[in-house]
Structure 1
Amino acid sequence: MKEITVDSNPSEAVLKKLGVAHWPTWEKDVSVFPWAFVTTEIALIVEGECEMTPADGGPSTTFKAGDLVVFPNGYKGTWEVKKPLKKQFKHKDGNLVKCALSRFKILKNRLKSNN
Structure 2
Amino acid sequence: MVVIVRKPSPEEEQEMKNCPTWSCEVSEFEWDFEEEEVCLILEGEATVTYNGEAYQFGAGDYVIFPKGMKCHWSVTKPIKKHYKHND
TM class, shorter-chain normalised?
Answer: over 0.9
Structure number with higher helix proportion: 1
TM-score normalized with structure 2 length = 0.94
Amino acid at match of 1:32: E
Q: Do structure 1's residue 43 and structure 2's residue 42 form an aligned pair?
A: no
Q: Secondary structure at the match of 1:46?
A: strand
Give the percent of matched residue pairs that are identical in Structure 1 and Structure 2: 43
TM-score normalized with structure 1 length = 0.72
> What are structure 2's unaligned runs of at least 5 residues?
none
RMSD value over aligned CA atoms?
1.0
Indicate the residue corresponding to 1:14 in structure 2.
12
For the pair shown, the structure with the greater C-alpha radius of gyration is 1
Decide whether aligned partners of structure 1 residues 92 and 13 sit closer, same or farther in structure 2, where only a CA change above 3 A counts. closer
Structure number with higher strand proportion: 2
Cα drift, residue 12 of structure 1: 1.7
Cα drift, residue 15 of structure 1: 2.1
Question: How many residues of Structure 1 are paired with residues of Structure 2 in the alignment?
Answer: 87
Indicate the residue corresponding to 1:4 in structure 2.
3
> What are structure 1's unaligned runs of at least 5 residues?
94-115
